[in-house]
Structure 1
C-alpha cells in the first residue's frame, strides 16, 4: 500500500447560510445493553460535537431511559431485548425497514455479546446500504459471524469503517497485527481487501493509529497515553459517524476523525494531564480540536 501520511488532511466544506439540520446527516447509533448505557451515549455526544445534524440512538428498552438522560439532544429508539438486557435478533425487521431512513449507521458501543447480537449485526452489516462505522462489540459479533461464514466481510451493501484495537483485530483476522509500521500496514491492507468492492476502510487503533483502504494508508500523529481509558473508542466512533453525515467519504472521515479524536485528547491532556483524562473530556475538547486543526 502507498503511504499517504504526508498528504493534507481532508477538510469539511463550509456550511451554507441557509443550511438546515438535514444537510448534516441523519445518524443512528445502535448500541447499549444492561450496564452499558454510557457507551452509545458517549458516541452520540461525540457525533453531535462533530457536526451531526440529527441523531437517534437505538438501544434496548430497559437502557433507553438512561441513554436519553445523558443529553436532551438525543432521540432514542427502544428495541426488543432478551432476558439479559441484550438486543434480540427480532429487531432485525424494524432495523432493515429503516435502513435507508438514516444517512449513517454506527454499530457496537456497549452492545454486549450474544447469539442474537451476532445475527443482528451480521445482517445489518450485509444489508444496510448506507455508510456504517463498526466498533467494539459489533466487531466481536462480526468475528463470530466469520467463523460460520468466511465471506461475512466480503459483500457489504455500503461503505464500512472498521475501528478495531489490536485484540479486536486479532479476533477478526485470526492473526495479531505485527509491531512494526510495515507489518501493521500490511495487516490492515489484507483486512480491507477481504471486501473486493473496495468499500471497506480500517483504522487499527493504538499508538500511532493507522488507517488504510487496501491501496493506501496513513499514520496518525495525534493522541497520547491518557486516552487509554474506557469510552475513548466510543468517542472515535461518534466523530467518524458525524463526519460521514456531512458527506465525507469513508476514507476522508476515518482519516480526519482519527486526527481530530487524537487532537482533542492532546488538548485535554495539556489542560488536565494524562493521568486524569477521561473519555468525556474528549467530547469536551472536540470543539477546540475542530478549531485548531
Structure 2
C-alpha cells in the first residue's frame, strides 16, 4: 500500500493569556553518562527552548553536577550509576518511577551508554511507564537487541534514529537502509499503531506506516555531534504540548532544520555546533507562530531554507 504524502506543516496553537507551565507539558529526560553529560544538557535545553512547561533531567549521579551547570532552567536528579559512570537501572528504577509519575513525556537515550541496563530501562518505559515516549541514541541501540518490544506499545512513541541506528533496528546495512528508507521506515513504524519513526539525515523522513513526510529544511553544517540530542528535546516538548506523535515529529524536524539554517546564516556551516541550534530555536519557532509560510518565496522576512 502506498504511503500518503504529507506536505503541510502543523503548528502549535497560540497560547492563552491565562496559560501556566502546567499547560505546556512536563518532560522527563533520562540521559547522560561519563563523558556524555553534554547530551543530557543539550536535550534538556532544547526541550525548554521548544516550549515545554517543565523539564526534569535524570542522569547518573557522577555527571549530575555537570548537567546542572549547563542550564539553570531545568531541574536535575542524580540516579545510581555503575562503576563506569553509566546508569544502573535496577538501582534507579524506584526513583525513575516516582519521577515519571509527574511527567507527560519521557525522552530516553542521549549519552546513556550501551550497557545491558539500558535495555531494561527501555523495556520498562515501553511496557510499564504509560507515558508518551521519545527514544533516541542509546535507547535505540538497546532496542535493536529486541525490537519486538515495540509491539507492546500502548502509548504514542517517536523513534529518531540516524542511519547507523536505523540499520541496527532493521538488521540491514547502512547502504541498504539509505537505498530504501521509506519502505524500511514504514515497516518499522507498522510494528505498532502508536509508533512514529523519524529517520534523520538529508530530507529527514517521518512516517507512521500510513503517512510519510520528507523534510525540506536543514543543511550540511548540522552534521556535527549533539544535533540529534537537540531534536530529541524538540520532539518531547511538542508531544508535551499536545501534538499527536506524527505531527510532533513532523514539526520538530522542520523546526530543527530551520534552526540549523538560521545558525548557518549566522555562523556558516563549518563552525556550526549543536548549541547554536538550541540558541536558534526561538527564532525558528517564531517563523511558524507568526503565521507566514517559511516556504513562500514572496515573503521577504522568511528564513533561507535552501539546502
Task: Indicate the TM-score class for this superposition, using the shorter chain for normalisation.
Answer: over 0.9
5 Å matches for 1:59-208?
A: 59-89=59-89, 90-144=91-145, 146=146, 151-176=148-173, 177-180=176-179, 183-195=180-192, 198-208=193-203
Corresponding residue pairs, total: 284
Residue aligned with 2:282, SS:
helix
Residue aligned with 1:105, SS:
strand
State the distance in 2 between where 1:76 and 1:203 align: 27
Residue aligned with 1:19, SS:
coil
Q: Does 1:214 find its partner at 2:209?
A: yes
Residue aligned with 1:157, SS:
coil
Residue aligned with 1:288, SS:
helix
Task: Find 1:261's aligned residue among 256, 280, 289.
Answer: 256
Shift in Å, 1:4: 2.3
Q: Does 1:245 find its partner at 2:240?
A: yes
Provide Cα deviations, 1:160-198, integer angstroms capped at 9, x if missing partner.
Answer: 000001110111110245444xx2111111001112xx0
Shift in Å, 1:117: 1.9
Shift in Å, 1:22: 0.6
Residue aligned with 1:99, SS:
helix
Counterpart for residue 14 of structure 2 = 14
State the distance in 2 between where 1:72 and 1:103 align: 21
State the distance in 2 between where 1:275 and 1:51 align: 29
Compute the TM-score of the two structures, normalised by the length of structure 2. Answer: 0.90
Shift in Å, 1:271: 1.5
Task: Name stretches of at least 5 consecutive residues in structure 2 with no aligned partner.
Answer: 289-307
Shift in Å, 1:243: 0.7
Shift in Å, 1:125: 2.3
Provide Cα deviations, 1:5-58, integer angstroms capped at 9, x if missing partner.
Answer: 32x211101111111101001111001001110001101111000000000000
Counterpart for residue 294 of structure 2 = none
Provide Cα deviations, 1:191-213, integer angstroms capped at 9, x if missing partner.
Answer: 01112xx0000000011110000
Residue aligned with 2:29, SS:
strand
Counterpart for residue 293 of structure 2 = none
State the distance in 2 between where 1:127 and 1:156 align: 9
Residue aligned with 1:87, SS:
coil
Counterpart for residue 292 of structure 1 = 287
Task: Name stretches of at least 5 consecutive residues in structure 1 with no aligned partner.
Answer: none
Residue aligned with 2:77, SS:
strand
Shift in Å, 1:93: 2.7
Structure 1 156/286 Cα, relative in aligned 2: closer, same or farther at 3 Å?
Answer: same
5 Å matches for 1:3-42?
A: 3-6=4-7, 8-42=8-42
Contact 2:64 2:76 in 1 (8 A): yes
Structure 1 vs Structure 2 CA RMSD: 1.3
Shift in Å, 1:152: 1.3
State the distance in 1 between where 2:24 and 2:45 align: 15
Shift in Å, 1:126: 2.1
